[in-house]
Structure 1
């Protein structure tokens, strides 16, 4: 039975690295382009896209993290949605770091030796030191404390990790279709395969072999007590995996992507439900859960969660 379970999880998780094409909703907001902010780092200059809050405040700041196939030119949040415009119209400063394919937004041990990577990913350091230093500089003046951080898929688990270990910076963390129980049977193997597919990255260069403690350090199921004790406001969402409003396949490729999205979302839901049970078992009451009856691993559904989350986010940052 255990072998069968691992096979099922692997079959669902292997497409983690495959692109899921989708179109985001607009929430009736005017779409405005963000502006580039460059920050120095050990990885070289890193670009972020920034939207200023409509009311001019500098205290309410949210970071939006991308998924596994993050590209070096623009965040998926901007390419597929107007989350920057929407949140800034609602008086939240928005920061979208660009890049970090297969990084899990963590500090790696070494460059990936499968794809000729020249630098060692140091994304946790960038997001908690280099970037906030730049954002706090005179021309922006953004607050370094009580920020929010929200991510999808790969970025979902990363958002919770960063909030757990940097509570002064992040008082709010959101996981949208995140993988929050990476110690579950088959998950570590699935992440290994997904990262090979998304850029030929070697997971051993990230957290070492599967028995390395770094895997536990980055598993929300394991560090859940930190989120409870820190008093972090947490939002966790995953849909059922059943096709909904944004799934209207019209070609063989569309059907293929929809099938992938169904499997990925079902796995994210299982992980998120496990995290919910874990938080309940330790008496944590600082989490809002959203489990829509329909939805796949697709941008439209993630943007819908941003719209739903916005009042809670705005009230608990800054």
Structure 2
């Protein structure tokens, strides 16, 4: 288990696995240290089926390679499947969950305090996420503007309060671990739903550099290796994120809030999120002053 002693500068380059204390118990976090010991950090959030032993960003994309020469520490929290990276009301009542998910607290308090002991800044960070992590990246950044200077959502469900979408989330969370959505944010209409809806909370993002992307649901060459069955499922999921992204785009446009929003050819799968991260990379480095 890695431990940290107070130092003045982050390690320069290389990777490490940390175990970070939290109210949920020790949380594994994979990091790739800033190439030249810089203090900026990029938090990268997983999707609904987040594995317990690694971030899929580190195995299913070239994210580590993309930023290997950059002066920003990559931070990959591990675990949290079906959590939507939120602070839940209580443990899930349908699968024997022992502790209450408190992912917002972890990402915005416990983890940055731990990383600060390695020299990582608590106030010069970016946050991006795919699928489940996309909406969370936006809402967390909106509520914690002192911590995050950039936010990115890739195929995120960025409007969960849209009618009946809570039922779609209920089905997805039941499929991935028998989690109960009511234990997360209560029944539809509870204030927690609006609080965790990037479209409803768009005003909190004013002035924040953002990149929001989604596919249009049409399969392309990047889908072929994943098989026809996976592609059909990925098309259906991306149809929902396309609609959500369009509503988010209409909302920020009406409010006069600047954001780069791309709807590209593609489906709900990792190769497209790898491309989205590559597109976001120069924006992230500029926002953090990490070139």
TM-score for both structures, normalised by structure 2: 0.92
CA distance in 1 between counterparts of 2:114 and 2:241 reads: 33
Deviations 1:202-248 (A, max 9, x none): 011100111211001101111101111xx211110001111112111
C-alpha deviation, 1:33, in angstroms: 7.4
Hey, what's the Cα distance between the residues in 1 that align with 2:176 and 2:146?
Answer: 33
Instruction: Measure how far apart 1:90 and its partner are.
Output: 2.6
Aligned-residue CA RMSD (Å): 1.3
The answer for the alignment partner of 2:185 in structure 1 is: 207
Q: State which of 187, 206, 222 in structure 1 corresponds to 2:165.
A: 187
Preserved CA contact (<8 Å) 2:161 2:188: no
| Alignment pair present for 1:151 and 2:129 | yes
**Alignment partners' CA distance in 1, 2:157 and 2:183:** 20
Residue of structure 2 in register with 1:7 after alignment: none
Kept after mapping to 2: 8 A contact 1:67/1:152: yes
- Aligned equivalent of 2:276: 305
Give yes or no for the alignment of 1:267 onto 2:240: yes
User: Cα deviations across residues 44-96 of structure 1 (Å, max 9, x unaligned)?
Assistant: 000100001222212x2100000001011001101201202321323221000
The counterpart of 2:250, out of the listed 254, 261, 277, is 277
**Cα distance in 2 between the residues matched to 1:79 and 1:73:** 11
Whole-angstrom distance in 1 between the partners of 2:14 and 2:48: 23
Aligned to 1:295: 266
Distance 1:105 1:68, change over 3 A: same
SS at match of 2:235: helix
Distance in 2 (alpha carbons) for counterparts of 1:63 and 1:154: 14
- The gaps in structure 1 that reach 5 residues or longer are 1-31
Aligned counterpart in structure 2 of residue 224 of structure 1, from 199, 202, 218: 202
Q: What residue in structure 2 maps to residue 135 of structure 1?
A: 115
User: What secondary structure is seen at the aligned counterpart in 2 of 1:160?
Assistant: helix
Contact 1:88 1:94 in 2 (8 A): no
- Taking the aligned partners of 2:269 and 2:15, their CA distance within structure 1 comes to 22
Question: 1:146 touches 1:172 (CA, 8 Å); kept in 2?
Answer: no
Is the 2:20–2:27 contact (alpha carbons within 8 Å) kept by the matching residues of 1? Answer: yes
The answer for unaligned runs of 5 or more in structure 2 is 1-12
Question: In the alignment, which of 16, 20, 23 is matched to residue 39 of structure 1?
Answer: 20
Whole-angstrom CA distance in 2 between matches of 1:183 and 1:84: 34
Aligned length: 277
Distance in 1, Cα, partners of 2:59 & 2:275: 16
Are 1:316 and 2:287 an aligned pair?
A: yes
Cross-structure match for 2:65: 85
* Counterpart check, 1:53 vs 2:26: no
Partners of 1:272 and 1:211 in 2: how far apart?
A: 21
Counterpart residue number, 1:126: 106
Task: Tell me, yes or no, if the aligned pair for 1:33 and 1:85 is still in contact at 8 Å.
Answer: no
